[in-house]
Chain A
Amino acid sequence: MVQKLETLLETPSQTAGPYVHIGCIPSFAGLEGVYPEDLGLRAIEEGAKGEVITITGSIYDGTGWAMRDAMMESWQADAAGLFPGRAGADPKVIGFCRFAADKDSGEFTLTTVKPGATPTRAGGLQAPHIALWIVARGINIGLQTRIYFEDEDNTSDPVLSRIEQRNRVDTLLAKKTGAGQYRFDIHLQGAQETVFLDL
């Protein structure tokens, strides 16, 4: 026998299911009036500093079908690289946003400011990115990934640098489609499978 460890195991995840909207964004489910408004409706308030951008995309399952029932959450720093709640952070940047794939087209849209680079524990910098968490029916534990930007210097980012198959780095880069417009598609499986993270 040895001494007993006190560490607890994490509660197991379960799929968010097809009706995740009821709990997280009830107006999307057609459920009005319980809350004044859905939580996480917007990532920024009017007047946020920095470049306001719109990121559009779809989440494709292994058959190439754009999922109609996924929900996403994003979390990010402000334009100066400070996370909301920290001293000096832009009070107009909420940083957290909830959005869903459209019921008909499967497309999602996130409007926010482009984040700044953020420090690492080792004293380096992470390239500008938005953390993303994806849940849906059929996803048994929420998927973590990141949106980086193809028009930023990503060369020394510690996460991107760890991707062995360099051809997969591209799956984390939002593509510029116009002024302040980006496209970010997510593939759950297949040759273009998005790099999902465990961190």
Chain B
Amino acid sequence: MSEHPPRYRDQGPLIPRNRAAHPVPYDPDYKTSVARSPQQPLLSMESTLSEETGPRFGHSTLGPLDNNLILNHSKDPARPAMGERILMHGRVLDETGRPVPQTLVEIWQANAGGRYRHVKDGYLAPLDPNFGGCGRTLTDDNGYYEFLTIRPGAYPWPNRGNDWRPMHIHISVFGHSFGQRLITQMYFEGDPLINRCPIAATVKSRSQLDRLVAPLDMAKARPLDFLAYKFDIVLRGRRQTMFENRMEGL
């Protein structure tokens, strides 16, 4: 699993999480959150080794088609997934602006009709025999990642009387420490369902919600092949000052 040299230097504790940048845990408009949100305050304190270290994944973990959702299910160029072909790309940075290299990014999504390949999804839209719906990749040395996929469809879900999820791709990022772990969703520029979605609306800061909406990026689109959407991701950073103790034992 670990292909990276061990780190000995104390890089400092994680910057405390700014919870105002995140969704509220309890939101009655997103009904499932009502019984699943802690009611007691979280116990806040400085991070420890358990949060400042984390798993590392190397290239040996990954297959050549892992970040190509158009082909990674059929594995046959003659049987690509159905739908609008897109490149999803961006950078993973931390709060200090540094790129996060060689970190695992995983995505999952519905197919072009809005149906997930999951034993629990029974939506009317059909499965695409050539689409699985998961992908993964490592960021490069500058924090860049890319996925080739299809634009997922919007779909209805049981919540209020008639709620629909906007088109979205789920994203899971590790960073280099367990305390940086993040799962989020990417939405698509111009989708009118974003402003009607109670899950998107759990993010109360409009400027923060806007950061989940990927712009169309024609500079990355390939003529006669695919459109592109850019999605940059910022993970927690580390606090390091000249006054910070550097403990050899850590």
User: With A17-B170, A29-B119, A140-B25 in contact, do A86 and B45 touch (Cβ < 8 Å)?
Assistant: no
A85 to chain B, nearest CB (A): 5
B1: which of A10, A84, A137 is its contact (CB, 8 Å)?
Answer: A84
Q: Please report which residues of chain B, range 90-111, place their CB below 8 angstroms from some CB of chain A when the two chains form the complex.
A: 93-97, 104, 106-108
Question: Among B49, B72, B235, which residue has its beta carbon within 8 angstroms of that of A10?
Answer: B235
Number of chain A interface residues as a range? 35 or more
Main secondary structure of the interface of A (DSSP, over half): loop
A11 at the B interface (CB under 8 A): yes
Q: Is B17 an interface residue (CB 8 A)?
A: yes
Asked whether B38 is an interface residue with its Cβ less than 8 Å from the other chain, the reply is yes
Return chain A residues, CB-CB under 8 Å to B8. 86-87
Known: A10-B236, A96-B55. A16 touches B250 (CB 8 A): no
Interchain CA distance A86-B248 in the complex, whole Å: 13
Please pick, from B14, B22, B57, B121, the residue contacting A13 in the complex, using a CB distance under 8 A. B22
B236 to A: closest C-beta gap in Å: 6
Q: Which of B16, B24, B35 is A61 in contact with, Cβ under 8 Å?
A: B35
Q: Is the contact region of chain B dominated by helix, strand, or loop, or is it mixed?
A: loop
A118 and B50 contact, CB distance less than 8 A: yes
Interface centre among B43, B133, B172, B211 (most CB of A within 10 A): B43
Contact of B22 among A24, A126, A140, A143 (CB under 8 A): A140
Partner of B93, one of A8, A14, A19, A136: A8
Q: Which residues of A50-108 are within 8 A (CB) of B? A: 61-63, 65, 67, 69, 73, 75-77, 83-87, 89, 94-96, 103
In the complex, what residue of chain B is closest to A89 when comparing beta carbons? B6
Encoded as 1 (CB less than 8 Å from any B CB) or 0, chain A from 15 to 53 comes to 111111111101001110111100110000000000000
The answer to whether B234 and A135 touch across the interface, beta carbons within 8 angstroms, is no
**Nearest CB in chain B to that of A30: its residue:** B119
A19-B182 CB under 8 A given contacts A13-B23, A24-B172, A138-B33: no
| A193 at the B interface (CB under 8 A) | yes
B117 interface residue (CB < 8 Å to A): yes
Q: Mark B10-52, 1 if CB is under 8 A from A, else 0.
A: 1001111111011111010010111111111011111111110
Q: Which of chain B's residues have a CB closer than 8 A to the CB of A159?
A: 43, 45, 48
Interface check A120, CB cutoff 8 A? yes
B116 cross-chain contacts in A, Cβ below 8 A: 19, 22, 29
Least distance between A172 CB and chain B CB atoms (Å): 10
Other 6 A-B pairs with CB < 8 A, given A23-B170, A33-B73, A118-B48: A7-B95, A10-B95, A11-B211, A22-B116, A103-B119, A199-B47
